[in-house]
Every structure is written in structure tokens, then in C-alpha cells.
Amino acid sequence: MTSASDAELIAQSLPDPEAFGGLFDRHAPALLGYLVRRVGRATAEGLLGEVFRIAFEARDRFDPSRRSALPWLYGIASNLLLKHHRTEGRRLRATARLAHEPAPETGLEERASARSILLQVAVAIEDLPGEERSVLLLHAWEGLPYPAIAEALEIPVGTVRSRLHRARGRLRERIERVGKEETESAACPTGDAHDR
């Protein structure tokens, strides 16, 4: 027996609300992983419930021609995350500090440099406009292809491409600027060395 598609589960849930639980069982793990990476476990669990509450209330508006409900659910999750921007920024900085621990044989200077780069990336991601941040993280963390991101955020695929391009450019520019500043400060450790 083949399992029901997402659209069939949603249609079944209109007269029988318990059928919506199948959608939760199918997609909650992926959404929880995405939310945990964005805001931490405690906040993510609350947001996951909110995603499915909103989806349940809006299930009569789900487009049954969609192959999967997952992009729709990611879109709901992304909208909720936009409201949690400050918490997300703190989480990104904490993740950058803890996520990458170079091997013990790596020198202190290399470890400090790696942490500095990760922190700068986290801060740069935090500073992105919310629309660009959502596209970048859905693509980089969730591995969603452009059409699924477009569906999730209800924007054209061309807009996904341009937002991702701008986000990458901003990140590259920020990292290059930080690298240049670090190189300049290493070459001239005291600010008044050129004045002598």
C-alpha cells in the first residue's frame, strides 16, 4: 500500500483533523533540525509547534498541486524566524565560537584565526537583510534547491538567485575586509608606528 501524498494528507485532514498528524510525523524532524540550527533547541521546539499550528489553521489554503508540503512548511518557519532575528544573531555568534575546534596539534594562532573567521561569518550572516538570510540558510543549511526555496518563500526563482547572489557577495566582502584589517594590524601592531 502506498502512503498518502502530502496533499492527500492535508485534504484528509479537512474532515478528519487527526490526519494532519501524518504531515507532522513526516516533516517535523527536518523542520526541527532547521529551527535548532537557527535558534537553538529550546526556542526551536516552541517554533516547531507554532509552524504546525499555523499550517493546520491554513491547511484549507494549501495548493494541492504542490508535490510536497515541506517547502510550504519551511516558508512558515522562515516567516516565524524573521520575528526572532535578535535571538538568531546571538545563536549564530555562539555557534561560530563553538562549532569549529581545530585539531589539538594545530597551533594557538591557527585556532584563534579559525575562530575569528567563523565569528565574522556568523556576524556577517546576522547582518544580512532577513530576506537574504532566509534564502542563504535554506540553501546552505537545508540544501533546498532554488525552486523549493522559491516555493517556501513564495517568491520567483529569479529572486532566489539574486538574493543568494547578493548574500554571498556581502559575506565575501565582509570576510575580505576583515582579512585586510587583520593583515594591516599584524603589519603595524601599534597605531602610531607610522607616525614615528
Among the listed residues 178, 139, 135, 137, the one whose alpha carbon sits nearest the alpha carbon of residue 160: 135
DSSP per residue, 32-46: HHHHHHHH-HHHHHH
Q: Is residue 34 part of a domain?
A: yes
Q: Is residue 39 part of a domain?
A: yes
What pLDDT is attached to residue 110?
66
Q: Which domain holds residue 1?
A: 1-69+76-83
Q: Is residue 132 part of a domain?
A: no
Q: Is residue 5 part of a domain?
A: yes
Q: Is residue 116 part of a domain?
A: no
Inter-residue contact 135 to 149 (CB < 8 Å):
yes
The span from the CA of 66 to the CA of 121, in Å, is 35
Q: Is residue 53 part of a domain?
A: yes
Inter-residue contact 152 to 75 (CB < 8 Å):
yes
Arithmetic mean of pLDDT over the chain: 82
Decide: residue 25, CB within 10 A, 0-12 exposed, 13-18 middle, 19+ buried: exposed
Work out the average pLDDT over 14-41: 93
Decide: residue 174, CB within 10 A, 0-12 exposed, 13-18 middle, 19+ buried: middle
pLDDT category, 104, cuts 50, 70, 90?
Answer: low
CATH code of residue 36: 1.10.1740
Q: Which cell is 136 given?
A: 542563504
Indicate the number of domains in the chain. 1
What pLDDT is attached to residue 97?
57
The span from the CA of 144 to the CA of 153, in Å, is 12
Q: How many residues are recorded in the chain?
A: 196
Q: Is residue 21 part of a domain?
A: yes
pTM (two decimals): 0.64
Q: Is residue 158 part of a domain?
A: no
The span from the CA of 77 to the CA of 136, in Å, is 14
* Structure-model confidence comparison of residues 74 and 187, the more confident one: 74
Cα atoms in the 13 Å half-sphere on the side-chain side of 147: 3
Residue 65 to residues 8, 33, 78, Cα–Cα distance (Å): 10, 26, 22
What pLDDT is attached to residue 111?
60
% pLDDT > 70, the chain = 76
Could you give the residue ranges of the DSSP H alpha helices within 40-145? 41-57, 70-82, 85-99, 108-127, 130-140
What pLDDT is attached to residue 123?
78
